[in-house]
């Protein structure tokens, strides 16, 4: 019987904020001023918590997040409308060349490990799926639940994503479908919250969302998920079994045993080393990484330890 794992953070760094002139048209510094940042909507819950703590620590700073698709977030960075973005990917070579021709040298800084979660209605008895089966569903090769389980009494698989331009969609296209287009029958909603609402009320649905949206906020061990939906176990093998399939618990993300694990990056273009750099420093140090741990994702820049916890089933 497979054991669950629980992830802990070893706190080794501290964050210190220095005082400086701030809002009201004064000079922007590492810890003062006013900026906007772009954030893939998948990471809205995390960034709202991060910014709440950051504003409490640095009262001279005002950071306004723009929650949008990953495509829009990167475009805002390319247009110099923001100097910091949080996305599922690094900047591409083509995007870097665009910056370099303007004498800018942005960075892609690893912030966390996340994953794509597959959720179903509670009445759906199918709890296991392989990466290959998910690929066939995403590309339209498999359209009915009977294609996964011949005994299924469900009908057509209604696949729903958060946003057509989200980082989740791009990850599925690039990493799962290997560039092959998604099936035109797939539905794109406006947010991860809408995906959860849709799946919770639609027995035939298969939702594809960011892993940080499925946590049970009342469970401090982070070993249970949102009670409104069912989270599928995913296998990288040819056939999914309880022994080789994993759900997106933090430890399985950290060990990359969960097959749909991906990285989260801070994209920053801040040649003056001002407030965007101050925020980036916070996000990648102890306080910011603690919030990531609490969210259900894996901190990227702080040491972690993994402990076996006896499984209840």
Q: Could you say which residues of the chain have pLDDT below 70?
A: 1-26, 216, 218-224, 307-313
Query: Is residue 256 located within the same domain as residue 209?
Result: yes
Residue 307 confidence (pLDDT): 62
Token couple for 127: 């709890």
Residue 106 confidence (pLDDT): 97
Query: 271 lies in which domain range?
Result: 4-10+27-113+263-304
Query: Is residue 186 located within the same domain as residue 135?
Result: yes
- What CA–CA distance (Å, rounded) separates 163 from 189? 5
Token couple for 241: 């079994």
Query: Is residue 122 located within the same domain as residue 240?
Result: yes
CA distances from 258 to 116, 146, 245, 291, 301 (A): 9, 24, 8, 21, 20
CATH code, domain with 229: 3.40.190.10
Query: Is residue 123 located within the same domain as residue 245?
Result: yes
Residue 84 confidence (pLDDT): 98
Residue 179 confidence (pLDDT): 81
What predicted TM-score, i.e. pTM, was given to this entire model?
0.84
Residue 90 lies in a domain: yes
- What CA–CA distance (Å, rounded) separates 86 from 42? 10
Number of independent structural domains in the chain: 2
- What CA–CA distance (Å, rounded) separates 107 from 157? 40
Query: Is residue 254 located within the same domain as residue 281?
Result: no
Query: Is residue 200 located within the same domain as residue 271?
Result: no
Residue 59 lies in a domain: yes
């Amino acid at each position: 019987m497979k054991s669950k794992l629980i992830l802990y953070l070893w706190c080794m760094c501290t964050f210190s904020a220095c005082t400086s002139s701030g809002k009201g048209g004064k000079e922007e510094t590492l810890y003062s001023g006013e900026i906007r940042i772009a954030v893939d909507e998948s990471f809205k819950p995390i960034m709202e918590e991060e910014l709440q703590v950051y504003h409490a620590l640095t009262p001279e700073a005002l950071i306004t997040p723009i929650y949008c698709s990953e495509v829009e977030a990167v475009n805002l960075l390319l247009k110099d409308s923001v100097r910091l973005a949080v996305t599922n990917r690094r900047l591409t070579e083509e995007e870097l060349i665009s910056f370099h021709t303007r004498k800018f040298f942005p960075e892609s800084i690893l912030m966390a490990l996340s994953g794509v979660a597959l959720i179903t209605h509670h009445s759906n008895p199918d709890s296991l799926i392989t990466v290959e089966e998910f690929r066939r569903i995403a590309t339209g090769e498999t359209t009915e639940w009977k294609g996964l389980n011949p005994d299924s009494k469900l009908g057509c698989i209604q696949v729903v994503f958060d946003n057509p331009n989200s980082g989740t969609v791009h990850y599925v296209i690039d990493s799962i479908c290997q560039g092959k287009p998604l099936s035109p029958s797939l539905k794109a909603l406006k947010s991860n919250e809408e995906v959860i609402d849709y799946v919770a009320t639609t027995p035939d649905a298969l939702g594809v969302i960011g892993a940080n949206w499925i946590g049970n906020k009342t469970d401090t061990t982070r070993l249970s998920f949102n009670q409104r939906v069912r989270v599928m176990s995913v296998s990288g093998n040819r056939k999914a079994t309880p022994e080789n399939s994993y759900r997106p618990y933090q430890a399985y993300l950290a060990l990359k045993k969960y097959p749909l694990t991906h990285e989260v990056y801070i994209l920053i273009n801040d040649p003056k080393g001002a407030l965007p750099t101050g925020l980036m420093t916070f996000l990648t140090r102890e306080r910011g990484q603690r919030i990531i741990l609490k969210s259900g994702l894996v901190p990227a820049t702080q040491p972690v330890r993994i402990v076996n916890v006896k499984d209840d089933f």
